[in-house]
């Protein structure tokens, strides 16, 4: 026999029959607000019940079971009815447990979205994420902020992601890690917090809120996809393809997130597939397509302050490795920049690196300033000469609000003067218009040298 309907319960309350008013009100509210008791809440309760029972079996947990073994164990718990059941499907409950134990837990929906690039867990306060360049709070189906229940839960999440043999050293203020897919993790546990305006009016500083920052590994892009996204035009794309094919070394400039590394990775796919290329980076997050690539990345010192590997060290090792082509991550100091110039001049093939400057002139100034800060203190004129010797092209990108990242300028480096490096603009964006100024005589000669024809989109004579 079915239970009373909502109308029956409300009618009984209205008529003040002989029943506990509190009990009837509670029952009525349960029927009026089923979202508080339905799928998501019941599933969460069921998951916690299963995980609690699972963690009580210390022998099983110490064996570091695989996901398949854990699924089988949980299925037995369900079959034997060893936990209280909340009326959800067993497969959903087991899946929720495994997402928590072996994947991203409560952050899983963010990591299923390919357009989410960054995730920041702000202690127990909430979770921020970046999508299409915009940052927002991660909210649940009920409109409330998704958050971890305790700092211990945050630490356990970090330990699970870093592997069965990892235990978080709470005496260290921070740690860095790289997942197998290249995703980067930074956990700052001390002297960290979060400030905001509560309700938009009252300033508040949330102290002792550790920060877990996760920068996701970008997916592979094709040149056709970059054109379709609006990053560059078809003529721009056809010009850039010529750079690796003609061994024209390039420096890419632009802010974080503008697509420098993405574009750089795409260009690597146009190198001859039978050559060896060295990629020197902070973390192994480049995804070049095709060819042969040796990867050297940086490493922080251990607890005894030994074992550090820098970009400068990687450049020295690359010099000894006899790579045909070399791609270097951003350089941040004079000694590294000077060593990069030395390596580039010894490289017979393609050389590329990045900087945060956003115009050709500023790219030149930024790199020359780095060279001048080296202990050897090369003269300004010498630094300009080094720049013009190493780099043949400058590519600049920008990321403006409400727009996708865009290539704003492609410039060809010409020669040095007493106080600068001269260059000619090949492509430039002026508002929504992209202006093309034609191929130089030098580019025509390079194309002939490498037995390449001028693409139809670049026909237009010599500029």
The answer to whether 371 touches 390, Cβ cutoff 8 Å, is: no
- The answer, yes or no, to whether residue 418 has pLDDT greater than 50, is yes
Is the same domain home to 170 and 272?
A: no
Is the same domain home to 186 and 281?
A: no
Is the same domain home to 423 and 362?
A: yes
Among candidate residues 163, 187, 217, the one where a domain is terminated: 217
Is the same domain home to 166 and 240?
A: no
Any domain includes 81:
no
> Phi and psi at residue 343, in whole multiples of 5°?
-65, -40
Any domain includes 68:
no
Q: What is the DSSP letter of 432?
A: T
Any domain includes 56:
no
Local confidence band at 32 (pLDDT 50, 70, 90 cut-offs)? very low
pLDDT at 37 (0 to 100): 39
pLDDT at 195 (0 to 100): 87
Is the same domain home to 229 and 206?
A: no
Any domain includes 87:
no
Among residues 50, 55, 10, which one has the least CA distance to residue 30? Answer: 10
**CA 438 to CA 425: how far, in whole Å?**
9
Is the same domain home to 330 and 448?
A: yes
Local confidence band at 261 (pLDDT 50, 70, 90 cut-offs)? confident
The answer to whether 316 touches 298, Cβ cutoff 8 Å, is: no
Produce one character per residue of 77-98: b if its CB has 16 or more CB atoms within 10 Å, e if not.
bbeeeebeebebeeeebbbbbb
Number of domains in the chain: 3
Is the same domain home to 158 and 257?
A: no
Any domain includes 138:
yes
| pLDDT tens track for 170-215 | 677 888 777 766 678 889 988 888 887 777 677 888 888 889 999 8
Torsion 240-241-247-253 (CA) sign: positive
How far apart, in Å, do the first and last CA atoms of the chain sit? Answer: 89
Produce one character per residue of 277-286: b if its CB has 16 or more CB atoms within 10 Å, e if not.
bbbbbbbebb
Any domain includes 93:
no
Is the same domain home to 213 and 228?
A: no
Among candidate residues 189, 217, 245, the one where a domain is terminated: 217
Is the same domain home to 182 and 275?
A: no
Among candidate residues 217, 240, 261, the one where a domain is terminated: 217
Quote the tokens at residue 69: 């073994």
Q: For the residues 440-455, what does the mean pLDDT come to?
A: 94
Any domain includes 145:
yes
Q: The whole model's pTM is what? A: 0.71
- H or E segment and range at residue 112: helix 108-112
pLDDT at 12 (0 to 100): 53
Is the same domain home to 110 and 257?
A: no
Q: Output the domain CATH number for residue 309.
A: 3.40.50.300
Quick count: other Cβ atoms within 10 Å of Cβ 190? 11
Q: Output the domain CATH number for residue 211.
A: 3.30.450.370
**CA 314 to CA 118: how far, in whole Å?**
27
The answer to whether 263 touches 408, Cβ cutoff 8 Å, is: no
Domain span at residue 449 reads: 223-458
Is the same domain home to 418 and 377?
A: yes
* Residue 447 vs residue 156, higher pLDDT: 447
| pLDDT tens track for 320-364 | 899 999 999 888 889 999 999 999 998 889 999 999 999 999 999
Is the same domain home to 235 and 199?
A: no
Any domain includes 50:
no
């Amino acid at each position: 026999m079915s239970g009373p309907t909502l109308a029956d319960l409300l009618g009984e309350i209205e008529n003040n029959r002989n029943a506990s008013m509190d009990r009837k009100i509670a029952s009525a509210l349960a029927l009026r607000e089923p979202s508080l008791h339905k799928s998501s809440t019941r599933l969460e309760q069921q998951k916690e019940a299963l995980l609690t029972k699972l963690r009580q079996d210390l022998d099983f947990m110490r064996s570091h079971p695989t996901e398949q073994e854990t699924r089988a164990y949980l299925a037995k718990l369900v079959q034997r009815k060893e936990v209280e059941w909340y009326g959800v499907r067993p497969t959903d409950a087991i899946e929720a447990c495994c997402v928590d134990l072996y994947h991203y837990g409560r952050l899983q929906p963010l990591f299923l979205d390919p357009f989410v690039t960054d995730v920041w867990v702000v202690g127990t306060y909430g979770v921020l994420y970046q999508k299409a360049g915009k940052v927002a709070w991660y909210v649940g189906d009920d409109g409330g902020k998704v958050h971890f229940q305790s700092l211990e839960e945050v630490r356990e999440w970090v330990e699970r992601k870093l592997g069965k043999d990892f235990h978080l050293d709470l005496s260290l203020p921070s740690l860095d890690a790289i997942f197998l897919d290249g995703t980067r993790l930074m956990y700052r546990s001390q002297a960290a917090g979060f400030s905001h305006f509560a309700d938009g009016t009252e300033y508040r500083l949330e102290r002792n809120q550790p920060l877990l920052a996760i920068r996701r590994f970008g997916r592979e892009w094709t040149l056709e996809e970059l054109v379709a996204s609006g990053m560059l035009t078809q003529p721009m794309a056809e010009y850039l393809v010529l750079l690796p094919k003609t061994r024209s070394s390039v420096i890419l400039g632009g802010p974080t997130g503008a697509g420098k590394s993405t574009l750089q990775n795409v260009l690597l796919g146009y190198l001859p597939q039978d050559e060896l290329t060295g990629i020197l980076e902070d973390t192994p997050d480049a995804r070049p397509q095709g060819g042969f690539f040796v990867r050297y990345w940086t490493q922080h010192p251990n607890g005894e302050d030994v074992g550090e590997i820098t970009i400068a060290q990687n450049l020295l090792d690359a010099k000894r490795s006899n790579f045909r082509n070399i791609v270097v991550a951003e350089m941040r100091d004079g000694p590294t920049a000077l060593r990069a110039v030395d390596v580039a001049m010894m490289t017979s093939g393609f050389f590329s690196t990045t900087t945060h400057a956003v115009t050709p002139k500023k790219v030149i100034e930024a790199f020359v300033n780095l060279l001048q800060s080296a202990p050897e203190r090369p003269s300004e004129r010498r630094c300009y000469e080094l720049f013009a010797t190493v780099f043949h092209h400058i590519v600049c990108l920008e990321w403006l609000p409400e727009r996708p990242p865009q290539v704003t300028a492609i410039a060809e480096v010409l020669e040095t003067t007493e106080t600068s490096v001269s260059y000619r603009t090949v492509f430039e964006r002026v508002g929504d218009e992209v202006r093309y100024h034609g191929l130089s005589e030098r580019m025509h000669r390079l194309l002939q040298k490498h037995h390449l024809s001028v693409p139809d989109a670049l026909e237009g004579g010599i500029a």
